Structure 1
Amino acid sequence: MSKGIKIVTIGGGSSYTPELVEGFIKRYDELPVRELWLVDIEAGKEKLEIVGAMAKRMVKAAGVDCEVHLTLDRREALKDADFVTTQLRVGLLDARILDERIPLSHGLIGQETNGAGGIFKALRTVPVILDIVEDMKELCPNAWLINFTNPAGMVTEAVLRYGNWDKVVGLCNIPVNAVFEEAALLGENNRDLFFQFAGINHLHWHTITDKNGKDRTDELIKVMYGQDDAKSIVANIKDNNLIWEQVENLHMVPCPYHNYYYYTDKMLAEELEDFKNNGTRAEKVKEIEHELFELYKDPNLDYKPKQLAERGGARYSDAACEIINSIHNDKRTTMTVSTRNNGTITDLPAESAVEVTCTITGKGPVPYNFGSFKPQERGLLQVMKSMEELTIEAAVTGDYGTLLQAFTMNPLITSGDVAKEVMDELLEAHKQYLPAFFKEGK
């Protein structure tokens, strides 16, 4: 076999993997992936074998020269890798159910990446990602890490700050979907518009300019928010019906997750009603995943099924493929990713991870300069970045006080006794995945 690209996907048993494989297949002429290693843990072995068999069928049906390897041995896979992608969930979906159920049972937002649940997902994930980085330093020191494990921004910042690994890109599908769907709302081809995103993961804003240099942002805001039937572009967020006077005053398009901060009372009431009648979003996702893996078992299925779009992560994996393609071929594709700030947003520390529009070059993301936000955006952004910094520090050190500071600072968590009670309950629930918090002497 001639020399080609070796890619390692950690969390290879994910239901998203078929989209990743599809993305590599359709780019094969310019991105010749000759080895694809799908890695998982013992608890994910069955799913790895199911999705791995399907990946092999997809590659065979496409007629491309690529070997798909399945392993539970991460170090075996990482040796001499060119790119490493991470799409893992520490504690599996059962942990996400707890992240949502426990806050909701206390009358707080229960969500995978926001509020108390988002903090605890970071606490479980950051140490694992940092262990992967240590293996990469030894086994594939020239590889790029492409992370789309949530919370993507905090994971990216942890790798930069504590892993001391610069070759990392964080990816979220929210900007990817926005480019396609908002262009359609304006009646334009997305290639004829320039979207400039700035902020942090799940808390960014953007503007839109057409090819004639005309700012289309306020026009889009009116289309998206100035009507009663506005719809969200995110499967797990119900709608975009924000208060018109407030969103009009931004003169930037907020991301769908802003609903939790701009309309907290409404979002909480809807979540509590859903929780009472239907359980958590995570439980619904678990049902969808079960159905997907039943489909994946079909020995005749050798393509990505349309049902995968219902999973809530549409275009994630394909975007990851394009980042890899653009780095490998220095394509200079314009994409929005999490990367080191380095002065791109002057309101945030230079060493922070920010989610901004970039040119993806052979040397990685090169951000478009943004500058400073207006007070409407700046205050919330700085509070949330400080909360992220505290959360990452707590994940690395296991310090209880630092974690409590993060909980107190988060706008979606009631401070005081409620914050401490919810935090303690989540710590106990996830104890097996948080050894730093339960060392002797703590």
Structure 2
Amino acid sequence: MKKSSVVIAGGGSTFTPGIVLMLLDHLERFPIRQIKFYDNDAKRQEIIAKSCEILLRERAPEIAFSYTTDPEQAFTDVDFVMAHIRVGKYAMREQDEKIPMRYNVLGQETCGPGGIAYGMRSIGAIIEMIDFMEKYSPNAWMLNYSNPAAIVAEATRRLRPKSKIINICDMPVGIEERMAAILGLKSRKEMQVMYYGLNHFGWWSDIRDSAGRDLMPRIKEHVAKYGYVVNPKAHQETEPSWNDTYAKAKDVYAVDPDTLPNTYLKYYLFPDYVVKHTDPNHTRANEVMEHREKNVFAIAREIIEKGTAKECKFEADAHATYIVDLADAIATNTKARMLLIVENGGAIENFDPTAMVEIPCIVGSNGYEKVCIGRIPQFQKGLMEQQVSVEKLVVEAWISGSYQKLWQALTLSKTVPSASVAKQILDDLIVANRAYWPELK
């Protein structure tokens, strides 16, 4: 079996060690000859990379390892680029979350004004990496799960339509794992799903087991009472903000009990609730910086200090399995059925053919084939048309440097109450993002 060479773009990310562990866990089905890290922040990357170097030396010494800030070194001789970059890091995420809150508008990483700001920072970096990949390894595939995936996917469709890039998101995977736990199944892979929508903006319309039995009624019964909280008797299953999101799915589900919703829909359907339950001075970015950031870097430094990863506390991230499944499907032509973010092209019959939609696809060595969804209900169609217009306007604003288009995008977002509020938020975001956005006129 051919061994692959992988570059992880975003080598300094706190999620990178989890991806490395997941790759090591699946070497029998996705063998690797080389892992490289690439990041534009050498200092940050070095800490994560040195700890992973020790980990790899102890667990898989046959895999070549290197890390670099040089694009030519990083992107030469690779089969897969696994991209999960965060332009502006958590300092800018904090701005994305706190600036809208000044105007009683929710601040969130990928939804509403925060997601728009983050998208405007991400587009240029992703396009640059596609160009590096095509220059130095023209046969490679980019598996991109950099947020905000919807805006990034629309930008790649517009600016690099022929590129070998597949945009994915792990959020539906995480929810499906919860569904499987609710049903008492070992894994989400025991379920076959129909799902449609945009990234962080979708619905499950059908879920069956391998024998074709309908699993929706049992999941719906649980969600109607408890949302996606698997064990309601347990005081806390996860971090408080996530626990609230999983519980709130109960109210999101009530709006359309024919389908099961992605949790992110709470930001669009209940923005007032989100604002009321958010501390404007201490947002999710602060939680992550105080916990995940500190913990992962502390573990990395401890490994470097001790010179061994024998009792390593790094954890394999759930989303990393999805990346391995996708790489494996392409490398070994498994024809796996996976949710991808792809150009609609008629898969959803009564929706914009140029929209980047999240739907099931069959993945093999030639890429993917879309599963036909057919017609979708008016409620979902209406919401999706509004949101896809926001995403398209953001990309248009980035390409043309248009203040007007970005103001329109913010005004059209379901999370923003008026054009005047949209303008105030935009003006503040422009100041905060001077170092990252193209100049708007």
Structure 1 length-normalised TM? 0.90
Match of 2:26? Answer: 27
Match of 1:177? Answer: 174
Match of 2:17? Answer: 18
- Separation in 2 of the partners of 1:305 and 1:346? 49
Worse-superposed segment, 427-436 or 238-247: 238-247
1:306 Cα offset (Å): 5.7
Match of 1:50 among 47, 53, 63: 47
Matches within 5 A, 1:238-249: 238-239=244-245, 240-241=247-248, 247=254, 249=256
Match of 1:411 among 411, 414, 428: 414
Match of 2:233? Answer: none
- Unaligned 5+ runs, structure 2: 231-235
Match of 1:290? Answer: 294
Q: CA 1:233–1:408 in 2, change beyond 3 Å: closer, same or farther?
A: farther
Match of 1:202? Answer: 200
Cα deviation code 1:306-330 (max 9, x no counterpart): 6758xxxx42222112211110011
- Separation in 2 of the partners of 1:167 and 1:108? 37
Worse-superposed segment, 351-360 or 139-148: 351-360
- Separation in 2 of the partners of 1:291 and 1:62? 22
Matches within 5 A, 1:318-337: 318-337=321-340
CA contact (8 A) 1:234 1:256 kept: no
1:245 Cα offset (Å): 9.4
CA-based RMSD: 2.4
Match of 1:254? Answer: 261
1:135 Cα offset (Å): 2.1
- Separation in 2 of the partners of 1:245 and 1:54? 42
1:46 Cα offset (Å): 2.2
- Separation in 2 of the partners of 1:230 and 1:52? 35
- Separation in 1 of the partners of 2:228 and 2:66? 47
* AA partner of residue 212 (structure 2): G
Q: Do residues 61 (structure 1) and 48 (structure 2) align?
A: no
- Separation in 2 of the partners of 1:30 and 1:188? 23
- Separation in 2 of the partners of 1:145 and 1:123? 20
Cα deviation code 1:73-109 (max 9, x no counterpart): 1222112321112111111110000000100111110
1:234 Cα offset (Å): 8.3
Matches within 5 A, 1:291-440: 291-299=295-303, 300=306, 302=309, 314-437=317-440
CA contact (8 A) 1:39 1:72 kept: yes
Q: CA 1:412–1:146 in 2, change beyond 3 Å: closer, same or farther?
A: same
CA contact (8 A) 2:299 2:314 kept: no
Matches within 5 A, 1:91-240: 91-189=88-186, 190-206=188-204, 207-227=206-226, 230=229, 236-237=241-242, 238-239=244-245, 240=247
Structure 2 length-normalised TM? 0.90
- Separation in 2 of the partners of 1:307 and 1:259? 31
Q: CA 1:121–1:359 in 2, change beyond 3 Å: closer, same or farther?
A: same
- Separation in 1 of the partners of 2:17 and 2:252? 43
- Separation in 2 of the partners of 1:228 and 1:66? 43
Q: Do residues 264 (structure 1) and 271 (structure 2) align?
A: yes
1:183 Cα offset (Å): 1.1
1:161 Cα offset (Å): 1.8
1:28 Cα offset (Å): 1.9
1:295 Cα offset (Å): 1.1
Secondary structure of 2:248's aligned partner: coil
Q: CA 1:436–1:33 in 2, change beyond 3 Å: closer, same or farther?
A: farther
CA contact (8 A) 1:195 1:208 kept: yes
- Unaligned 5+ runs, structure 1: none
Give aligned-pair identity as a percent: 27
Q: CA 1:395–1:362 in 2, change beyond 3 Å: closer, same or farther?
A: same
- Separation in 2 of the partners of 1:246 and 1:29? 40
1:347 Cα offset (Å): 3.2
Q: CA 1:228–1:354 in 2, change beyond 3 Å: closer, same or farther?
A: closer
- Separation in 1 of the partners of 2:310 and 2:102? 40
Secondary structure of 1:226's aligned partner: helix
CA contact (8 A) 1:394 1:402 kept: yes
CA contact (8 A) 1:347 1:382 kept: no
CA contact (8 A) 2:194 2:360 kept: yes
Q: CA 1:323–1:234 in 2, change beyond 3 Å: closer, same or farther?
A: farther
1:53 Cα offset (Å): 1.3
1:27 Cα offset (Å): 2.2
Secondary structure of 1:185's aligned partner: helix
* AA partner of residue 260 (structure 1): Y
Q: CA 1:387–1:303 in 2, change beyond 3 Å: closer, same or farther?
A: farther
Q: CA 1:376–1:424 in 2, change beyond 3 Å: closer, same or farther?
A: same
- Separation in 2 of the partners of 1:332 and 1:194? 14
- Separation in 2 of the partners of 1:382 and 1:233? 35
1:304 Cα offset (Å): 9.5
Secondary structure of 1:338's aligned partner: strand
Q: CA 1:70–1:151 in 2, change beyond 3 Å: closer, same or farther?
A: same
